[in-house]
Structure 1
């Protein structure tokens, strides 16, 4: 990773880290950190879909450090045929429970990704994407919206499977 991108990401994570995540919770509301194994993505592009590869196989980790905060990192084969690595911090402040086992969360992630030749010549560039997560016990789906950005990024909706490890 380029030094400037590393510094940008570290500063961004520090600025977004909630002070409440560092506080010691009381026993009635104790949060148990979670570690999830994530797949690559199944994507559908909103423009020029026939130009893109929509099966974006890969692997990653999602670490929930507080009830509404997580860190994500992984690698996948992107829609333009290159390898992409990503590092993100996610915040999901909106949650609805459906019975004891189902949970829907909404929020967003900010971070960096690489591997797209039309963006930063394939190097790392910043990302900000809205997210939805549907959890059922130890299995879940993430839905991510990638917005269209000028002539450099054609938007997409991407679905990701995840399995809870811890």
Structure 2
């Protein structure tokens, strides 16, 4: 639940609460990149196990066994192993959320996340939609990256998770 004032049913067990922000695209059209030359690959259903493994190692946020079916997911592989990815999740009319942005610890600092976000933003804008994303307030490195890439904070949010009966 994102900043929902509603009180959940009494049999819902609170699991977490996390302060964060929603950021929206405020930049110009991303620089056109040659995704193939940059090593960006489309991740299909056959990449599900590798995507779940990367998520388990990096913990970017909610990512369930079928999350990759919600939209396009892009990745970067090194020596055949998936080391970075980002994808699409929520799609309210006119908008697409960029989600599951993560890079394996051994591959950080090489610009993979920036490349993947730019590639997704270009695709989203090319469809006539506007990119947005959610980030934990404590993830200051990601916030700084998103701002450099053209995102701005729209609103503060509280993420709350519950286990339902």
TM-score (norm 2): 0.29
- Structure having the higher helix fraction is 2
Q: Which has the higher contact order (CA 8 A, sep 6+)?
A: 2
- Structure having the higher strand fraction is 1
